[in-house]
Structure 1
Amino acid sequence: MAGADPKRTSWPELLGIPATPAVMRINHDRPDLVVEVLPLGFKLGKGFNAKRVRVFFDPRDSQGLVAKVPVVG
């Protein structure tokens, strides 16, 4: 696994894995970001935040798998 990458803005390889290891990977790659874990379909306010990544999981899935590619914003 590579070290921190300040230019990284998305993690497509995390799609379909459990949310906890996904958060750990994002924190490893970009320790400068805040990671939010939210259920898919959660109502969000508008606005881009360059210091945030949201990890969405399917609440109907008992394993808590990542349901959307995590991206900065």
Structure 2
Amino acid sequence: MAGGEQKTSWPEVVGLPTKEAKEIILKDMPRADIVVLPVGSYVTHDLNLNRVRIFVDTVAQTPTVG
């Protein structure tokens, strides 16, 4: 980013695995506090310039009892 501007969104990570998305975000913003949440989660509306929220909605494995 020119002029020292900080990136504020990452549309290119939509559809990627969470781990890969985190790696891409951390390349652009190494001090990011990345929080992974289920889609639809309630979140605070406070401004935290180091926080990046990733919302996920995919079940990766079959849920089992035990």
Shorter-chain-normalised TM-score: which range?
0.7 to 0.9
Distance in 2, matches of 1:51 and 1:62, equals: 27
What's the TM-score once normalised by structure 2's chain length? 0.75
What's the TM-score once normalised by structure 1's chain length? 0.68
Deviation at 1:48, TM superposition (A): 1.4
Q: Which is bigger in relative contact order (C-alpha 8 A, separation at least 6)? A: 1
Secondary structure of residue in 1 paired with 2:46: coil
Overall identity of the aligned pairs, in %: 37
* Contact 1:6–1:29 (8 Å) recurs in 2: no
Paired AA for residue 59 in structure 2:
S
* Contact 1:35–1:55 (8 Å) recurs in 2: yes
Return 5+ residue gaps in structure 2 as ranges. 61-66
Paired AA for residue 33 in structure 1:
A
Paired position in structure 2 for 1:41: 40
Structure of higher CA gyration radius: 2
Paired AA for residue 36 in structure 1:
V
Distance in 2, matches of 1:31 and 1:44, equals: 23
Higher helix fraction (1 or 2): 2
Paired position in structure 2 for 1:12: 11
Q: CA RMSD, aligned part only?
A: 1.6
Deviation at 1:21, TM superposition (A): 0.5
